[in-house]
Amino acid sequence: MYLGAAEKLSGPVGKGFSGRASAKWDNFPVSFLAHHHEACCELAIEWLRSIDFGQLNGAALLSGPRWLREKYEWGPSPWPLHWCEAVEREVLDCGAHAALAQQLFEARGVVNFRAQFVQRYNREATEQWGKIWDCDDASSHWLSGDLIYHEANALVVSEGSETLGRKRQ
């Protein structure tokens, strides 16, 4: 579901922005990592899966791949970005983080979808992020006044699923 579809829902989803986000991010696609269709990208994906398997160490499959946040600092990413380039970087934006996490959840057999959010921050924060992205010649399309576009992952779980190592009550 794109953000524009969420704004049409009743209830708290999509309320509070008076359509301000709609103009810019209404039908905005989630970020995806490009693939060279060569061994470089296949090896990068297999490396990610192997590291995740080792880091998971028997934990619940639904636990987030927190090691990604430890390995990759949040910040500007160049786009387009290929799998082989992403794993070599030290800094990745939320779209790249979410693309990596989606791949790992899928490898674990966890049904997941990309989630898109619009969040409100103060203008000083968004202006500072804009300056950082400008210095790296990265797109600041995710900033708009005091609003930001954000990407994450949503997991599909059923009643009684294990969540973070505990049975649901």
- pLDDT for 161 beyond 90: no
Rg (Cα) of the chain, in Å, rounded?
17
Q: The pTM is what?
A: 0.83
Q: Sorting pLDDT into bands at 50, 70 and 90, what band is 53?
A: very high
Element (H, E) at 10: none
**Structure confidence at residue 165 (pLDDT):** 46
Tell me what the pLDDT averaged over the chain comes to.
86
Angle, vertex CA 97, rays to CA 123 and CA 41, nearest 5:
140
Of the CA atoms within 13 Å of residue 136, those in its CB half-sphere come to 16
Q: Which residue has the higher pLDDT, 108 or 20?
A: 108
Are the C-beta atoms of 121 and 150 separated by less than 8 Å?
no
Q: Is the pLDDT of residue 132 over 80?
A: yes
pLDDT of residue 11: 45
Beta pairing class for 91-92 and 73-74: parallel
